[in-house]
Amino acid sequence: MNIDFSTNKIPSPTTDFDQRVISFIKDWFDDSETVKVQTSGSTGTPKIFEIEKERMWHSAKMTCDILGLKTGDSALLCLPVEYISGKMMVVRAIERKLNLVIKTPSINPISDLNEEIDFCAMSPLQVENSLEKLHLIKNLIIGGAAVSETLKDKIRQSLKSQISKSKVYETYGMSETLSHIALKEIYPNTEEYFKTLNDIEISLDRRGCLQISAPQLNPETLITNDLVDIKNGKEFKFLGRIDNVINSAGLKIYPEQLESLVKKEMDNELVFLGIADELLGQKLVLIIEGQENSDHVQRLKKIDYPSKNHQPKEIVFIAKFPRIPNGKVDRKELTEIVSNILTK
């Protein structure tokens, strides 16, 4: 189904997802000042809360402005409209009067896409399964989870082979910031730091975690659990979540950074955890999803760790990682599983 928001015509739905999109559009244009949004549960228990439409409109305008989207451009929706990511794609289309192409969310939502699209948002898993069609999307933003170094390389190789003029960005944001508040270019340029959108102010709290001031999006200063390095007051580099930091023999280790390093050599999902240890406090352990084989052994030998203390003391292979509803690895449950394995 396509909806051209430069007109006042809404077509009849042909799928259940079409019907959910139209239902949200009706909610958007009713007399209520808010809409209900469900959180993903990636940083806690999933919940439903209400967001002011005016704040969502400001967020939509920020994104459309920074990407240079204009009336008549096309956008593709392939994310669930229960969550802020899907809702914001619809609001952006409404705000900028875009032609919205609607695809039922799946791991490969653009498999039948044959025309160019000006703008699309996808999850990393969707991008992983859509590499052969990415060149058809002029502006792609990726969110919902970190984009691995392996996936970034695949994106670059795919688009270079197609001589594509596409631009691809990793996003930083959460439900409370109404989707993203910063972008980091993956292709054609490779950026190390996220760049905040206009009217977003960032700072560090006493723990070294990111604070976000965005009055048009949220009346309160948002305090995150994300450790970051801030540059120029408008750019920041994600170091890791403070609740994931591993303290081993007095050394603070950011597992997300090590995971990015190892994923340059390994295609498997993997996680670094700190497992309780009498001598070290926490023992650095690398857990890899899948079955161990000789190829894994050779690839692991190529890893150039920052120091000897950043090398895992144990490597554990697990057939399938536990995950939370949005697909992210459940680190808490995985820690319990690994702890039991290592104490047997």
Confidence (pTM): 0.84
For residues 254 and 135, state if they share a domain: no
pLDDT tens by residue, 252-296: 999 999 998 998 888 889 999 999 998 899 999 999 999 988 888
From 241, 276, 305, give the residue that closes a domain: 241
Instruction: Please indicate, yes or no, whether residues 259 and 333 belong to a single structural domain of this protein.
Output: yes
166-181: pLDDT as tens digits: 999 999 998 778 889 9
Looking at the structure of the chain, the number of domains it has is 2
Secondary structure element (H or E) that encloses residue 26, with its range: helix 16-28
The pLDDT value given to residue 235: 97
Same domain? 179 vs 280: no
The H or E element that residue 63 is part of is helix 53-67
Question: Residues 210, 253: one domain?
Answer: no
- DSSP three-state, residue 57: helix
Q: For residue range 311-325, list pLDDT tens digits in order.
A: 999 999 999 999 876
**Six token digits for residue 190:** 């490779």
Q: Are residues 185 and 46 in the same domain?
A: yes
| pLDDT greater than 80 at residue 39 | no
Q: What is the CATH number of the domain that holds 36?
A: 3.40.50.12780
- Given a cut of 70, whether residue 45 has pLDDT beyond it is no
> 173 and 296: one domain?
no
Rounded distance between C-alpha atoms, residue 186 and residue 147, angstroms:
9
Segments forming the whole domain that contains residue 283: 245-343
C-alpha angle 165-263-192 in degrees, rounded to nearest 5: 50
To which residue do tokens 């792609």 refer?
A: 140
> Which of 178, 213, 241 is the endpoint of a domain?
241
Choosing from 213, 241, 269, the residue where a domain stops is 241
Kindly report the backbone phi and psi dihedral angles of residue 96, in degrees, each rounded to the nearest multiple of 5, phi listed first. Answer: -100, 5
Residue 344 burial by Cβ neighbours in a 10 Å radius (0-12, 13-18, 19+):
exposed
- Give the closest residue to 3 by CA, choosing from 106, 68, 81: 81
Short-list 114, 158, 109, CA closest to 132: 158
